[in-house]
């Protein structure tokens, strides 16, 4: 979890080392609007969710953002498990 103190943007990251084809990661990226899967420089799988803060219309409740992150992460990991 990283919070940019200047503008309030929040970044969530999870890394894991399962052997998943890039085509599988790309197909899951097409299914999920807010979460991004990619490979990092060590060839680990990186799951990313960035929550930009745009002012008063955005949720400032950190617990809501954390809950959404884990909900999306669980659903995405289940998709990866199904495709292994």
Q: DSSP of 19-31, one letter per residue?
A: ---HHHHHHHHHH
Vertex 32, ends 30 and 36: CA angle to 5°?
Answer: 85
* Residue 82: predicted pLDDT: 84
pLDDT tens across the length of the chain (84 residues): 667 666 667 889 989 887 888 888 888 888 887 788 899 888 888 999 887 766 665 556 678 888 888 998 898 888 888 876
**The pair of three-digit structure tokens given for residue 6, joined into one six-digit string:** 């200047």
pTM for the full predicted model: 0.72
* Residue 67: predicted pLDDT: 87
Choose among 42, 54, 51, 34: nearest CA to 15. 42
* Residue 81: predicted pLDDT: 82
Q: Cβ(12)–Cβ(60) under 8 Å?
A: no
């Amino acid at each position: 979890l990283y919070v940019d103190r200047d503008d309030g943007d929040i970044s969530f990251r999870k890394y894991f080392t399962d052997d998943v084809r890039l085509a599988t990661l790309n197909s899951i990226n097409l299914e999920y609007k807010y979460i991004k899967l990619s490979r990092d420089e060590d060839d680990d799988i990186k799951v990313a969710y960035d929550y930009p803060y745009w002012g008063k219309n955005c949720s400032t409740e950190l617990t809501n953002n954390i809950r959404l992150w884990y909900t999306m992460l669980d659903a995405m990991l289940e998709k990866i498990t199904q495709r292994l």
